[in-house]
Amino acid sequence: MTLPDAGGGPLGLFGGTFDPIHYGHLRLAETAREALGLARVRLIPAGQPPHRAAPGASGAHRLAMARLATADNPAFEIDPAEVEAQQASFTILTLERLRAALGPERPLVLLLGLDAFLGLPAWRRWEALFDFAHIAVANRPGYSLDSAALPPPLAAQLAARHATAAGLGDTPAGRIVPFSMTPLAISATDIRSRAAAGHSLRYLLPPPVLDYISLHQLYS
């Protein structure tokens, strides 16, 4: 399934396992929307992440939680295609799918944390990502894209593609743009550990997600 094009302005793309989705994910998406001038942010739960262990919750559960978490924000939308595909979720394949659906002119902006960006050379066909989307990298206090020790191939890409948010709407793909955010000290790994130990998850997740986890006894 491919969502219809909401039209107008750069579209942010935020992929992840979302196992479960939490306030840290939502805050990154909202900060990126505002800092980068994105028209919308499309969250894309992974079906089968290729570089990590199987998720603790099924794709159907993770998709349902993502929908619940974003229901009150009209600038967020959920793309179910990776979960429905029932195959490994490689970013390059996702971008190819979205570019084919949305056309050659719509600016697409792939949102990454700095740690994920530093690992980019290990991704499948990573240099081709720039043919399909811009990449926006979330800096955190004391640790920025400009100060990070980049692998030489990644440093070369940054030197050639570094830009500011102001230019994201001018071209459909190909730029690297940093943006700043204050991360919340929340992790899905910690949430799953807390759930398994029977500890409270309150104030880590949106209430509808918390209720869903309790209803379906996830991670316990």
Per-residue pLDDT tens digits for 37-49: 999 999 999 988 7
Residue 199 lies in a domain: no
Task: Note whether residue 195 is domain-resident.
Answer: no
Question: How many structural domains does the chain have?
Answer: 1
Single-letter amino acid, residue 193: S
What predicted TM-score, i.e. pTM, was given to this entire model? Answer: 0.93
Predicted local confidence at residue 5, as pLDDT: 55
- Supply the range of the domain harboring residue 108: 11-186
| Cis? peptide before 153, omega within 30° of 0 | no
Residue 205 lies in a domain: no
Residue 58 domain flag:
yes
181 within some domain? yes
Domain presence at residue 4 = no
Q: Which residues contact 65 (CB under 8 A, 6 or more apart)?
A: 18, 20, 21, 57, 209, 212, 213
- How does strand 134-139 pair with strand 176-180? parallel
Mean per-residue pLDDT over the chain, rounded: 92
CATH of the domain at 150: 3.40.50.620
State how far the Cα of 148 lies from the Cα of 138, in Å rounded to an integer: 12
Q: How do residues 188-215 score in pLDDT, each as one tens digit?
A: 999 999 999 999 999 999 999 999 999 9
User: Is 219 a domain residue?
Assistant: no
User: Starting at the edge strand that comes first in sequence, how are the strands of the sheet with 176-180 ordered?
Assistant: 76-78, 40-45, 11-16, 108-113, 134-139, 176-180
On whether residue 139 sits in a domain, the answer given is yes
Question: What's the whole-number mean pLDDT along residues 77-87?
Answer: 91
Residue-wise pLDDT tens digits, 120-145: 999 999 999 999 999 999 998 778 88
